[in-house]
């Protein structure tokens, strides 16, 4: 029987650490349940002495094979090259890149190590689906070891235009290694367009009208597979959570006043600082909402806190929250409730349902699942409004019915907040209904099935 082998930087075992299990982990587990197979990747642990063989466990018929990393691997491959080079450049921030040759060597070394440990686990007709920017060269490394299985790659983050990507030292080698896949998937048409441009302009490849790409001596398919969510599950969890103690306490604490919610990993790509400045401007120019005490709930769990840029950003954002609260707070109202810890998924869904506005304003984002979760969590009788950045991948699906803003334009964002808070019920319902249709048409199952179907078509040829 054909098995699916999923490879990602981190493996999230079912039933463990439920606060961190997001939509992607649930989707991968569902795919593995459908096709049977293995989820292979880093255990999340690093130790001076790493085991030579992957740690293999089976739960509910699913097999997890995980590897530990050495502290040097963690520093060079993960913190170094993946998070301080690829992440900033792919999010259009080459100014934040810290490139060191030894980090790139570590990145290649860990990809080769993953390939070496994965190859012996493969069976005859397995097909392999690799996720995200940590593992771009993995197919190349597997091919070097004689692996001829269909291998697909999905990039969860944006693919930058060549003018930006070429700021990354060694970009040719990195993109050429992508050509070792049979299917390369992106979140949006913009990402695919940027990839096509790079292929033709930088490595003299060819792009056919049917999505087939010929480059670096290989023929493969590159396409758009916008990631979705489990819409019905998110809606059901949100509906159920509205009676939970935490959601009820949140509602009581607002005394019937409007709530605006932002939920993001604490990352510079998410635009949290610009969002706070826009909210400050909104309070300044719309004093009626000071009296109504509109409250911004910002949940921002810490991420990559060992990277210097993230430490600095954390200090700046905390300072801004303190300053804005000092400026506008009353004895019985604080405008920004800023929290750096994670909440249970159920609690988050309850908060989404309670909020009048979903405030999703990244400066650059592959998709942004929070935008989709916010919509799915709304009460059909009284839905909230989504204020969505022009630079989130989700805007390509939701632009007609959300309030689209340029996150750098704080006056425009403040206007959108006001428009959202005064929007009549019939308009809110009409917008929400259309966005739900889009979410349902392209949910997490559709995403997975379309990708797997493309992978099953491999190998691709020009004719």
Question: Residues in the site for ligand GDG, rule: CB under 6 A?
Answer: 19, 22-24, 156-157, 227, 263, 265, 299, 301, 342-345, 348, 365-370, 373, 393
As beta bridge partners, residue 385 has 357
191 given a catalytic annotation: no
For residue 91, the tally of other CB atoms under 10 A from its CB is: 23
Between CA 130 and CA 149 the distance in angstroms is 12
And the tokens for 391?
A: 């630079």
When the beta carbons of 118 and 263 are compared against ligand GDG, the nearer one is 263
Quote the CA–CA distance of 276 and 296 in Å, as a whole number.
Answer: 9
- How far apart CA 424 and CA 255 sit, in angstroms, is 21
Supply the minimum distance, in Å, between the C-beta of residue 19 and ligand GDG.
5
Question: Which one is catalytic: 156, 171, 356, 401?
Answer: 156
Going by the DSSP 8-state scheme, the letter that residue 121 receives in this structure is G
Residue 306 a catalytic site member: no
Angle 460-452-173 from CA coordinates, rounded to 5°: 55
Please state, in angstroms and rounded to a whole number, the distance separating the CA atoms of residues 359 and 343: 18
> In Å, what is the CA distance from 269 to each residue of 10, 177, 275, 326, 354?
21, 26, 12, 26, 26
**Of 230, 209, 206, residue with least CA distance to 217:** 206
- 188 in helix, strand or coil? coil
- Three-state secondary-structure class, residue 52: coil
Nearer to ligand GDG, 205 or 350 (CB): 350
Closer to ligand GDG by Cβ: residue 313 or 348 = 348
**Minimum gap (Å) between residue 48 Cβ and ligand GDG:** 29
Q: Which is nearer to ligand GDG, 335 or 366 (CB)?
A: 366
Nearer to ligand GDG, 7 or 421 (CB): 7
Nearer to ligand GDG by Cβ, of 13 and 202: the residue is: 13
Nearer to ligand GDG by C-beta: 361 or 368? 368
What CA–CA distance (Å, rounded) separates 315 from 299?
15
H/E segment holding residue 191: helix 189-202
Strand partners, 357: 260, 385
Which position among 365, 401, 415, 443 bears the catalytic label? Answer: 365
**Nearest-angstrom CA–CA distance, 25 and 266:** 20
Task: Report the alpha-carbon distance of residue 19 to residue 378 in Å, rounded.
Answer: 21
Kindly state the smallest distance separating residue 374's Cβ from ligand GDG, in Å.
9
| Residue 298 β-bridge partners | 262, 338
Q: Which is nearer to ligand GDG, 293 or 369 (CB)?
A: 369
What is the strand order of the sheet 403-405 is part of?
336-339, 295-299, 259-263, 357-360, 385-389, 403-405
Residue nearer to ligand GDG on the CB measure, 224 or 423 = 224
Q: Which of 76, 8, 19 is nearest to 43 (CA)?
A: 8
Residue 350 makes CB contacts below 8 A (sequence gap 6+) with 238, 241, 242, 244, 246, 247, 250
User: Closest distance between ligand GDG and the C-beta of residue 364, in Å?
Assistant: 9
- How many Cβ atoms are within 10 Å of 287's Cβ, its own excluded? 9
**Would you report the helix, strand and coil content of the chain in percent, each value rounded to 5?**
50, 20, 35
Question: Catalytic residue numbers?
Answer: 156, 365
């Amino acid at each position: 029987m054909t098995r699916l082998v999923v490879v990602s930087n981190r493996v999230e075992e079912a039933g463990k650490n439920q606060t961190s299990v997001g939509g992607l982990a649930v989707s991968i587990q569902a795919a593995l349940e459908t096709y049977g197979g293995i989820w292979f990747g880093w255990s999340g642990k690093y130790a001076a002495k790493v085991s030579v063989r992957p740690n293999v466990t089976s739960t509910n018929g699913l097999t997890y094979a995980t590897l530990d990393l050495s502290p040097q691997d963690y520093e060079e491959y993960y913190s170094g090259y993946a998070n301080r080079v690829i992440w900033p450049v792919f999010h259009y921030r080459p100014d934040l890149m810290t490139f060191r040759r030894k980090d790139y060597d570590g990145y290649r070394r860990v990809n080769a190590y993953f390939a070496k440990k994965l190859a012996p686990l493969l069976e005859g007709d397995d097909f392999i689906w690799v996720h995200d920017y940590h593992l771009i060269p993995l197919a190349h490394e597997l091919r070097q070891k004689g692996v001829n299985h269909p291998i697909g790659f999905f990039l969860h983050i944006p693919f930058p235009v060549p003018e930006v990507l070429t700021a990354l030292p060694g970009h040719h080698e990195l993109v050429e290694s992508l050509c070792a896949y049979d299917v390369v998937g992106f979140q949006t048409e913009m990402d695919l367009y940027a990839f096509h441009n790079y292929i033709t302009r930088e490595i003299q490849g060819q792009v056919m009208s049917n999505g087939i790409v010929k480059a670096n001596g290989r023929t493969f398919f590159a396409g758009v597979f916008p990631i979705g969510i489990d819409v019905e599950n998110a809606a059901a969890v949100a509906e159920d959570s509205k009676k939970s103690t935490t959601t009820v306490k949140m509602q009581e604490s607002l005394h019937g006043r409007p709530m605006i919610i932002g939920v993001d990993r604490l990352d510079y790509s998410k635009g949290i600082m610009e969002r706070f400045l826009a909210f400050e401007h909104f309070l300044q120019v719309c004093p009626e909402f000071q009296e109504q005490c509109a409250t911004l709930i910002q949940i921002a769990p810490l991420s990559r806190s060992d990277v210097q840029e993230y430490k600095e950003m954390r200090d700046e954002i905390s300072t801004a929250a303190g300053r804005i609260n000092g400026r506008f707070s009353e004895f019985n109202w604080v405008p920004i409730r800023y929290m750096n810890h994670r909440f249970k998924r159920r609690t988050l869904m309850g908060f989404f349902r309670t909020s009048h506005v979903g405030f999703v304003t990244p400066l650059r984002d592959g998709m942004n699942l929070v935008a989709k979760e916010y919509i799915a969590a709304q009460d059909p009788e009284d839905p909230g409004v989504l204020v969505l950045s022009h630079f989130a991948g989700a805007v390509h699906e939701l632009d007609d019915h959300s309030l689209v803003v340029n996150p750098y334009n704080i006056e425009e964002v403040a206007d959108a907040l006001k428009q959202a808070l005064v929007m009549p019920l019939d308009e809110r319902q009409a917008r929400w209904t259309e966005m739900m249709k889009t979410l349902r048409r392209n949910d997490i199952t559709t995403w997975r099935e379309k990708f797997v179907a493309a992978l099953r078509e491999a190998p691709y040829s020009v004719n």
